Structures are given as structure tokens and as C-alpha cells.
Structure 1
Amino acid sequence: MDEFTDQNIFEDLTEACYRRRIPVYIILDEGNLKYFLEMCKKMELSELMVRYLRVRSIAGIGLYFEPGYIKGDLNQKFMIVDGDKVLSGSYR
């Protein structure tokens, strides 16, 4: 499974949350959640910086959240923007 440990991307997301008050939702694979938490700890984020940030983990059997239920394993990288645009893929 993939890991979310890129500080530059995470800084952009937290900036969108903090400065523009845009809600950001991050769904991570449960097996790699520890790497994400380690990155967050290193960045020493304040509570205000992550006020509009929601992070959830999925273990492969499904995820319940407001809009409904998602089944399966998390093995794709994608971003939904403004509820009507989707970006999918990897970068190096």
C-alpha cells in the first residue's frame, strides 16, 4: 500500500485548510497510518492549522462516513476537488 509522507503536499493541504478555511478530507490505508502520523509529529502543526482537516483510515473492509459506506482496499491515489473534479494517479 501507498504512504502519504510528502511534507510539501501536506503543507499545501494544511494551508488550504488554515488560510482559506477549505475542508480537506484524507483517507489513508490503516497499515501506513503510522508513517503519516510520524510526518505530522515532525511538522509540529498547531491545532488551528488542522482545524478543517479530517483524516480517516481504512483497513480494507470498508469505511463509514457521512455520505455513506465505501467497501474494499485503498490502493489508488486520488483527489476530489469541489465535489465535481477528480484527479487520479501517482507522481515521483
Structure 2
Amino acid sequence: MDGDRPERAAGRASRRHGAGDPSAIPLAKGYDTAGTAFPRRIPALLNLVAPERVLFGSDYCWTPSGPAGVHLAALDAAESPVEGATWRSLTTVKAQRLFSARSR
């Protein structure tokens, strides 16, 4: 997703799917926070999906540990979209659900 221009990305996707309304675009079951997720990409994504569909992702194999740590610190510093939760707690619950579902 073009995080700096979510409306432009949504417009391209809606044309591909033949829909005039970006909310009619088929959405994935989950999205990760890989790359520079804050301050723009994740808040823009939350205009399209619920927070429980966001999973922490660092792209660690492609991102050296220093920048991965910076991304994690940004996640920890970002305001949570759910009262009483942190981004770390939200993404941890999502990962636990994903891995428990895969082990069944």
C-alpha cells in the first residue's frame, strides 16, 4: 500500500476490481507492520481495516537489527487504536491466534 497516499492506492485497487467505492475492494485477512509503519502507513491502513487485522512484521531477514529495533520502538511509541491496549499487545494476540490456528 502506498502509505503516503492511501486514497490513490485505494483508487487504483477499486478500478482493478471494477468498484467505484474503495470499501468494496476485497481485503486480506491480515496485514503486517513491516517497514516504516509509523507515522503514516498503519494509521492509513486503519481507515480500511480493524486493528485486529494488523500483525507485527519486521522484515528482519531483509532489515538489519538496528532499523528493525527502530521500527519496533515506533510501534511501542504509537498511540493504540484500542483503549487499554498497546500496539505490542494487539499484535502479540494476533500472532498467538495465527500460530495456534496453524498448529491445529
With normalisation by structure 2, the TM-score equals 0.29
Larger radius of gyration: 2
Q: Compare the two structures and name the one with the higher strand fraction.
A: 1
- Which structure's relative contact order is higher, taking Cα pairs within 8 Å and 6+ residues apart? 1
Q: Compare the two structures and name the one with the higher helix fraction.
A: 2
With normalisation by structure 1, the TM-score equals 0.31
